[in-house]
A and B are shown apart, each in its own frame.
Chain A
């Protein structure tokens, strides 16, 4: 399957990436090559084959629901690009 320029633009939008024309051009070509290669998977008969999302069989990992100490707010905010009054600051959400 070939990926189109419009699809690259759409997916970049979903992934919150800006692409300039040059990058769109490059990714369309490179992803086209990569996805054509992925099409080799169509040669494999997977009728009735279960899918694997985790290599080790595990049941749910339960633990007691105990209140424990959490990291203090000032530490949590320590790497914030912008913080004020114990909160993260972001640009306006609604214009």
Chain B
């Protein structure tokens, strides 16, 4: 048995029975990293020494009979979440040497649960990108085909899970950055409802959209991580004070009476043939499990790319104003005058995509253009939300592809920002509406690349997503297939 291949729940069971130790499990994960990381490039930072110490500590907790579902489980954390004492780069040169003085709430919860943090996963700089090629350090490669992108921006987290370089991972999703890489890497990615998970200690990109969520080997693990990370946090006033259910209770067979909405705009021309085939086959499977299907329309879908790429950069341009070379991060020391220091620092510290988005956002918010761009986009965002509200009046979940094509080649879209933005078309509308979404593996392309199925629910209805995704997963075997690395 290769321990690195275990899921969270499988590893937990073996740990509890005393058949394996966290030290063995963690060592197996690091052996795997040693073996495949040169090709995949999932991590910016690895912390083997502290991970082995965490594992030894977890083994002691388990021996005392106090082990919980995450005790001793090796997890990868996207490098956008602050980890006390472990550098947190956000995939950017401007934070290359930043060592946070505190941990994000999600990481604190993992520490309290005695999980093992093994490293910080690669990402597009400041989570801006769909391919992880915008990392200032290196691109991550898709474990299913090393010439292709793993998706982004949580590409490191998704690739680490797919390549068994961790047992589970955390990503963040602003416009699809959990679901799309999960889809391209053949793993499960869940974006909870906006406000479900505390953003305290998450480096801000677009504050009205950013949300943290699990990337895992199966749906059961997703539910387990959701239990650990969801809930109100006094340190994040946008986290919602609402009771958190036990998501593992949604892992029940049977979809009788459930209505699945199929939004016609997500199956329009431009959808790759293999993707369309796999998603249509998934609809059949879900119907076969007792659910009924209903055709619905989300008429403002086509505007989501324009809305998102105005609102997210506008928020980013404001959030990223804090990187001025004064309190933390990189400073260019040539200038002898303050404003010039700001400009030199930011121009040398930020990569091209981040600078591009800061300029778009600043432009969209600037005098004379505010109403035409940011204002207009905020109004159309309301219409997109109304589309979802109406659809959820007649169906329990929506079913759609995650991405219009399987993973594209490295370099294919990196010089054409608009083409890259358009690849996010199926994940952006739900992010703008703040609803919950999950991506589960639903097939492979002719070239053997994973295809993902997207399920969406209304706000705070994640249990339904978990239930449908779990039933689909149990009826299929896509999630147990592994890349041949």
With a CB–CB cut-off of 8 A, which chain B residues contact A35?
Answer: 360, 363, 373
Please judge, given known A-B contacts A41-B377, A58-B240, whether A34 and B362 are in contact too, CB under 8 Å. Answer: no
Give B329 Cβ to nearest chain A Cβ, in Å: 7
Q: Are A31 and B208 in contact (CB under 8 A)?
A: no
**Docked pose: A90 CA to B309 CA in angstroms:** 34
Q: Are A15 and B303 in contact (CB under 8 A)?
A: no
Q: Is B366 an interface residue (CB 8 A)?
A: yes
The one of A8, A14, A17, A81 that contacts B331, using a Cβ cutoff of 8 Å: A81
Q: Mark B382-396, 1 if CB is under 8 A from A, else 0.
A: 110100000000000
Q: Is B16 an interface residue (CB 8 A)?
A: no
The one of B325, B338, B344, B377 that contacts A18, using a Cβ cutoff of 8 Å: B344
CB-based nearest B residue for A60: B237
Give A47 Cβ to nearest chain B Cβ, in Å: 9
Classify chain B's interface size: 35 or more
Please judge, given known A-B contacts A17-B346, A30-B356, whether A46 and B380 are in contact too, CB under 8 Å. Answer: yes
Of the listed stretches B98-106, B109-117, B250-258, chain A binds: B98-106
Please judge, given known A-B contacts A49-B382, A71-B102, whether A56 and B434 are in contact too, CB under 8 Å. Answer: yes
Give B92 Cβ to nearest chain A Cβ, in Å: 14
Within B350-372, the residues touching A (CB, 8 Å) are 350, 352, 355-356, 358-360, 362-363, 366, 372
Within A1-38, the residues touching B (CB, 8 Å) are 1, 3, 7-8, 11-12, 14-19, 23, 27, 30-31, 33-35, 37-38
Q: Is B339 an interface residue (CB 8 A)?
A: yes
With a CB–CB cut-off of 8 A, which chain B residues contact A86?
Answer: none
Q: Are B317 and A79 in contact (CB under 8 A)?
A: no
Q: Are A79 and B344 in contact (CB under 8 A)?
A: no
With a CB–CB cut-off of 8 A, which chain A residues contact B317?
Answer: 15
**Docked pose: A46 CA to B417 CA in angstroms:** 27
Q: Are B335 and A91 in contact (CB under 8 A)?
A: yes
Q: Are A49 and B383 in contact (CB under 8 A)?
A: yes
**Docked pose: A35 CA to B352 CA in angstroms:** 17
A to B CB contacts below 8 Å, 22 in the list: A7-B363, A11-B363, A11-B366, A17-B355, A17-B358, A27-B355, A31-B363, A40-B306, A44-B303, A44-B376, A49-B380, A49-B382, A49-B383, A51-B382, A52-B379, A52-B382, A55-B432, A56-B459, A75-B101, A81-B325, A81-B333, A91-B335
Q: Mark B76-91, 1 if CB is under 8 A from A, else 0.
A: 0000000000000000
Q: Mark A38-67, 1 if CB is under 8 A from B, else 0.
A: 101110101001111111101001010000
With a CB–CB cut-off of 8 A, which chain B residues contact A55?
Answer: 194-195, 208-209, 385, 432-435, 459
Q: Are A95 and B326 in contact (CB under 8 A)?
A: no
Give A29 Cβ to nearest chain B Cβ, in Å: 11
Q: Is B375 an interface residue (CB 8 A)?
A: yes
Q: Are B326 and A17 in contact (CB under 8 A)?
A: no
Q: Beyond the given A30-B356, A49-B380, A71-B101, could you list 7 further A-B residue pairs with CB under 8 A, ordered by the A residue number?
A: A31-B359, A41-B376, A44-B300, A55-B194, A56-B434, A61-B238, A76-B101
The one of A33, A41, A75 that contacts B306, using a Cβ cutoff of 8 Å: A41
Q: Are B99 and A78 in contact (CB under 8 A)?
A: yes
**Docked pose: A16 CA to B331 CA in angstroms:** 14
Q: Are B347 and A92 in contact (CB under 8 A)?
A: no
With a CB–CB cut-off of 8 A, which chain A residues contact B459?
Answer: 55-56
Q: Are B344 and A80 in contact (CB under 8 A)?
A: no
Please judge, given known A-B contacts A1-B372, A58-B195, A76-B101, whether A52 and B359 are in contact too, CB under 8 Å. Answer: no
CB-based nearest A residue for B435: A55
Q: Are A88 and B327 in contact (CB under 8 A)?
A: yes
With a CB–CB cut-off of 8 A, which chain A residues contact B32?
Answer: none
Give A76 Cβ to nearest chain B Cβ, in Å: 7
Please judge, given known A-B contacts A15-B359, A90-B338, whether A79 and B343 are in contact too, CB under 8 Å. Answer: no
Classify chain A's interface size: 35 or more
Q: Are A17 and B336 in contact (CB under 8 A)?
A: no
Q: Are A80 and B326 in contact (CB under 8 A)?
A: yes
CB-based nearest A residue for B311: A53
Q: Are B101 and A17 in contact (CB under 8 A)?
A: no
With a CB–CB cut-off of 8 A, which chain A residues contact B418?
Answer: 30, 33-34, 37
Q: Is B234 an interface residue (CB 8 A)?
A: yes
With a CB–CB cut-off of 8 A, which chain B residues contact A17?
Answer: 343, 346-347, 350, 355, 358-359
Q: Are A38 and B382 in contact (CB under 8 A)?
A: no
Q: Is B142 an interface residue (CB 8 A)?
A: no
Q: Are B359 and A27 in contact (CB under 8 A)?
A: yes
With a CB–CB cut-off of 8 A, which chain A residues contact B148?
Answer: none
CB-based nearest A residue for B372: A1
With a CB–CB cut-off of 8 A, which chain A residues contact B303?
Answer: 40-41, 44
**Docked pose: A58 CA to B383 CA in angstroms:** 19
Q: Are B309 and A38 in contact (CB under 8 A)?
A: yes
Give A37 Cβ to nearest chain B Cβ, in Å: 6
Give A78 Cβ to nearest chain B Cβ, in Å: 6
CB-based nearest B residue for A10: B366
Please judge, given known A-B contacts A81-B329, A90-B338, whether A27 and B378 are in contact too, CB under 8 Å. Answer: no
With a CB–CB cut-off of 8 A, which chain B residues contact A49?
Answer: 379-380, 382-383
Give B90 Cβ to nearest chain A Cβ, in Å: 13
Q: Are B363 and A18 in contact (CB under 8 A)?
A: no
Q: Are A46 and B343 in contact (CB under 8 A)?
A: no
CB-based nearest B residue for A80: B327
**Docked pose: A33 CA to B305 CA in angstroms:** 13
Q: Are B306 and A37 in contact (CB under 8 A)?
A: yes
Q: Are A93 and B338 in contact (CB under 8 A)?
A: yes
